[in-house]
């Protein structure tokens, strides 16, 4: 289920949450430098192309795409992907996916908590609801799943999973994944790949 031809206002609330997280992480890491994604990083991330393979309309001409790996001066690393076509009148899709590698498990627990709380607090700024629900795919030491709604309609999904020092994050708005099997098919291969991945 998607937003049809409506613009996707949810992306502004999602961006606000990501900004809060970025500020917190940047301060904690005391600076960073950005590099292009490495080919081995791509197996970690859910992309708009993965949804497109299921027939979800993708307006590539209206989209901005960000792919990067960010190394913080404390040694931690973030691998990130963002597809933003939220202003498209044809398919207002917003997808972001990332994996964060912390130096300690305590730092990873803190990052997981900050990421979760930031979305719960800021996503509603644009009228989007974040509704925690039983996860269709339980994974790792901590996991969190929520359905996103706007004007009473389901418009997206949010998923977090932490395993040791690694935190996986995926959110989509403009398209709601209703089938638990479909959702698991998206995230399970990434989490399996993450287990053996060494940054």
CB 126 within 8 Å of CB 197: no
Q: What are the beta bridge partners of residue 34?
A: 70
pLDDT of residue 47: 96
Q: What is the pTM of this model?
A: 0.84
Distance between CA atoms of 135 and 139, rounded to whole angstroms? 9
Q: What are the beta bridge partners of residue 159?
A: 145, 170
- Domains of the chain, by residue range, sit at 10-196
CB 33 within 8 Å of CB 71: yes
- The parts of the chain modelled with pLDDT lower than 50 are 1-9, 25-30
Distance between CA atoms of 99 and 81, rounded to whole angstroms? 9
CB 161 within 8 Å of CB 171: no
Nearest alpha carbon to residue 117 among 21, 29, 15? 21
The 10s digit of each residue's pLDDT in 101-136 is 999 999 999 989 988 887 777 766 667 788 888 887
Mean per-residue pLDDT of the chain: 82
pLDDT of residue 25: 47
Q: What are the beta bridge partners of residue 98?
A: 80, 169
Taking the CA atoms of 111, 114, 118 and 119 in sequence, report the sign of the dihedral they define: positive
C-alpha 43 chain-centroid distance: 14
pLDDT of residue 125: 65
Q: Which two tokens stand for residue 4?
A: 């049809």
Which bin fits 123, alpha (ψ -120 to 50), beta or left (φ > 0)? alpha
pLDDT of residue 129: 83
pLDDT of residue 184: 87
Q: Which two tokens stand for residue 67?
A: 């792919």
3 state DSSP class of 70: strand
Sheet with 64-72, strands from edge to edge, namely 32-35, 64-72, 77-84, 94-101, 166-173, 153-163, 142-150, 128-132
């Amino acid at each position: 289920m998607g937003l049809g031809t409506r613009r996707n206002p949810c992306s502004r609330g999602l961006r606000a949450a990501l900004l809060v997280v970025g500020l917190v992480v940047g301060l904690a890491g005391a600076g960073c430098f950005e590099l292009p994604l490495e080919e081995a990083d791509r197996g970690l991330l859910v992309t708009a192309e993965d949804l497109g393979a299921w027939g979800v309309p993708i307006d590539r001409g209206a989209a901005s795409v960000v792919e990067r790996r960010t190394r913080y001066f404390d040694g931690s690393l973030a691998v990130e992907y963002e597809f933003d076509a939220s202003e498209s009148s044809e398919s207002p899709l917003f997808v972001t996916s990332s994996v964060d590698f912390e130096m300690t498990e305590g730092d990873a627990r803190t990052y997981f908590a900050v990421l979760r709380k930031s979305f719960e607090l800021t996503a509603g700024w644009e009228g989007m609801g974040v509704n925690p629900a039983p996860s269709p795919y339980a994974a790792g030491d901590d996991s969190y799943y929520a359905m996103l709604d706007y004007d009473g309609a389901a418009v997206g999904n949010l998923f977090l999973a932490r395993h040791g020092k690694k935190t996986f994050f995926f959110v989509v708005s403009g398209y709601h994944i209703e089938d638990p099997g479909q959702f698991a098919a998206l995230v399970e291969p990434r989490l399996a790949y993450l287990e053996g991945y060494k940054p």
